[in-house]
């Protein structure tokens, strides 16, 4: 299906989807504290490793506090003109927190021109798709690290779904099933989809080409291969070098476009990619 003009216009405004990342910025709202899975690289002492780097934990905001922040940022002559995207990426899984939906509803009412973007582990995607449609989500990032449940079981220690806790391959297979179904539904809905894959050397190297092929077939727009930040269960793993990541991106770019500017931002980052104006200017 050809990408519509309206969709293309929005993609061009989105720095994480290949839009002009020197000019267009995004604002992350850290309103989603809880998570429903456990990734081996996550310590929960800092923001979700889906979209973050270790460091100071962002201050959790209520939806009302988040709105105060959005108003301040949009009124500022420094940030107002550059912010094109409001993203919710943590610190837990946005789909597992009602605050995510409440915040997006409020942002949509007051700032309808801002692109709504969300980043998730994908477990609840099929369950939440109708709500995502209702709030008018434009872009979606799903972190998908394995297609083989045996590999997934080495990455995810447990998954909590519909009141039940799963572990091992059963957990990984359940997560995978919902991720793939969710990506297919999101593509059907016309969302612009980015797939984040954390490369964990010695664990999921062989999964990368399989993932790129599969998500392309399902309708994803771009892939973002991210280096592991060694932590928790994977604290001992030597992270991949920028050169290794580069080689992988090149090998997969014929299958699906590769996003090469990711700076693994925190879930409260504000400004251009790699920038957090909030840290430089606490008033924001």
CA–CA gap between residue 197 and residue 152 (Å, rounded) = 12
Q: Considering the complex, what minimum distance in angstroms separates the CB of residue 113 from ligand SF4?
A: 15
105-113, 118-126, 206-214, 275-283 -> range binding ligand SF4 (CB under 6 A): 118-126
46 binds ligand SF4 (CB under 6 A): no
270 binds ligand SF4 (CB under 6 A): no
CB closer to ligand SF4 out of 96 and 184 = 96
Cβ 76 vs Cβ 284: under 8 Å: yes
- The CB-of-179 to ligand SF4 minimum distance in angstroms stands at 12
Q: What are phi and psi of 277, to 5 degrees?
A: -65, -20
Determine which residue in the list 11, 19, 25, 28 makes contact with ligand SF4, applying CB under 6 A.
Answer: 28
* Separation CA 154–CA 157 (nearest Å): 7
By beta-carbon proximity to ligand SF4, the closer residue of 37 and 183 is 37
State yes or no: residue 89 binds ligand SF4 (CB under 6 A). Answer: yes
Q: How far is the CB of 245 from ligand SF4 (least distance, A)?
A: 13
Instruction: Kindly indicate which of the ranges 5-13, 125-133, 145-153, 257-265 contains the residues binding ligand SF4, using the contact rule CB under 6 A.
Output: 257-265
Contacting residue, 60, 189, 237, 273, with ligand SF4 by CB under 6 A: 273
From the CB of 62, what's the least distance to ligand SF4, in Å? 19
β-bridge partners, 115: 85
What's the chain look like in SS3? CCCCHHHHHHHHHCHHHCCCCCCCEEEECCCECCCCEEECCCCCCCCCCCCCCCCCCCCCCCHHHHHHHHHHHHHCCCCCCCEEEEEECCECCHHHCHHHHHHHHHHHHHCCCCEEEEEECCCCHHHHHHHHHHHCCCEEEEECCCCCHHHHHHHEEEEEECCEEEEHHHHHHHHHHHHHHHHHHHHHHCCEEEEEEEECCCCCHHHHHHHHHHHHHHCCCEEEEEECCCCHHHCCCCCCCHHHHHHHHHHHCCCCEECCCCCCCCCCCEECCCCCHHHHCCCC
For the CB of residue 251, give the shortest distance to ligand SF4 in the complex, in Å: 21
Q: Kind of pairing, strands 164-167 and 156-161?
A: antiparallel
> Does 100 help bind ligand SF4 (rule: CB under 6 A)?
no
Binding residue (CB under 6 A) for ligand SF4 from 29, 30, 39, 82:
39
Using rule CB under 6 A, residue 16 touches ligand SF4: yes
Binding mask 49-88 for ligand SF4 (x = CB under 6 A): xxx---------------------------------x-x-
In the bound state with ligand SF4, the residue whose beta carbon lies nearer, of 100 and 185, is 100
Specify whether the CB–CB gap between 31 and 118 falls below 8 A: no
- Shortest Cβ 17–ligand SF4 spacing (Å): 7
Q: Based on the shown chain and the rule CB under 6 A, indicate whether residue 119 belongs to the binding site for ligand SF4.
A: yes
Residues at the site binding ligand SF4, with contacts judged by CB under 6 A: 16, 26, 28, 35, 37-39, 42, 48-51, 85, 87, 89, 92-93, 117-119, 121, 139, 141, 194, 224, 262-265, 273
């Amino acid at each position: 299906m050809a990408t519509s003009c309206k969709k293309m216009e929005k993609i061009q405004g989105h720095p994480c989807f290949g839009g002009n990342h020197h000019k267009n910025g995004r604002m992350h709202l850290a309103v989603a504290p809880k998570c429903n899975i456990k990734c081996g690289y996550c310590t929960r002492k800092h923001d979700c490793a889906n979209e973050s780097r270790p460091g100071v934990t962002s201050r959790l905001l209520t939806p009302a506090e988040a709105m105060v922040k959005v108003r301040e940022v949009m009124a500022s002559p420094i940030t107002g003109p550059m912010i094109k995207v409001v993203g919710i990426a943590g610190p837990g899984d946005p789909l597992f927190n009602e605050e995510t939906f409440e915040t997006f509803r409020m942002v949509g009412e007051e700032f309808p021109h801002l692109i709504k973007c969300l980043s998730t582990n994908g477990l609840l995607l099929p369950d939440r798709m109708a709500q995502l449609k209702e709030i008018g989500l434009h872009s979606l990032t799903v972190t998908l690290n394995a297609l083989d449940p045996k590999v997934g079981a080495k990455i995810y220690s447990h998954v909590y779904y519909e009141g039940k806790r799963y572990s091992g391959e059963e957990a990984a297979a359940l997560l995978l099933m919902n991720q793939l179904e969710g990506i297919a539904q999101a593509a059907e809905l016309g969302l612009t989809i980015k797939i984040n894959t954390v490369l964990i050397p010695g664990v999921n190297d062989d999964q990368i080409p399989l993932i790129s092929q599969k998500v392309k077939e399902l309708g994803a727009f771009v892939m973002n291969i991210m280096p592991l930040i060694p932590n928790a269960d994977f604290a001992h793993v030597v992270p991949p070098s920028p050169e290794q990541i580069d080689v992988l991106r090149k090998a997969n770019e014929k299958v699906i476009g590769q996003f090469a500017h990711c700076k693994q931002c925190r879930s409260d980052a504000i400004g251009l990619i790699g920038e957090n104006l909030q840290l430089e200017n606490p008033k924001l």
